[in-house]
């Protein structure tokens, strides 16, 4: 069994993440879509839709969902699942807000 290390990375101040809009965050060769929801929670997912690799950070946010800008697939930001009738999943990542600073928790 391989143990993966978990890293907590500061990615910005909460004010740098506009409410209900996505922001692309790059860490090394990985790209994340980070969203500040209307309730000030922060969600993070891989930045590509499983359908045609649409850039999810450019999608429309409604509640806990993002709609892919290419073909309007509805993706749950909590578990990464694409909503029916479409199917698929994106990887989700933990994010936290502490003292108005936003952190992304990633496995190495």
CATH code, domain carrying 73: 2.102.10.10
pLDDT in tens, the chain (108 residues): 566 788 999 999 999 999 999 999 999 899 999 999 999 899 999 999 998 889 999 999 999 999 999 999 999 999 999 999 999 999 999 999 999 999 999 987
Cα angle 10, 51, 102 (rounded to 5 degrees) comes to 10
Instruction: Let me know if residue 11 belongs to a domain.
Output: no
Number of domain units in the chain: 1
| Domain region containing 88 | 20-107
The answer to whether 17 and 34 have CB atoms below 8 angstroms apart is: yes
Instruction: Let me know if residue 5 belongs to a domain.
Output: no
pTM comes to 0.91
Instruction: Let me know if residue 28 belongs to a domain.
Output: yes
For residue 4, how many C-alpha atoms fall within 13 Å in the half-sphere facing its CB? 6
For residue 40, give both structure tokens.
């000030």
pLDDT at 6: 86
Instruction: Let me know if residue 13 belongs to a domain.
Output: no
Instruction: Let me know if residue 3 belongs to a domain.
Output: no
């Amino acid at each position: 069994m391989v143990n993966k290390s978990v890293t907590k990375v500061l990615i910005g101040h909460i004010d740098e993440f506009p409410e209900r809009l996505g922001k692309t965050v790059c860490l090394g060769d990985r790209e994340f879509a980070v969203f500040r929801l209307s309730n000030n929670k922060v969600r993070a997912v891989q930045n590509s839709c499983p359908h045609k690799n649409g850039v999810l950070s450019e999608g429309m946010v409604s509640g806990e969902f993002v709609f892919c800008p290419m073909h309007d697939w509805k993706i749950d930001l909590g578990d990464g699942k694409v909503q029916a009738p479409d199917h698929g999943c994106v990887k989700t990542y933990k994010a936290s807000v502490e003292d108005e600073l936003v952190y992304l928790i990633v496995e190495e």
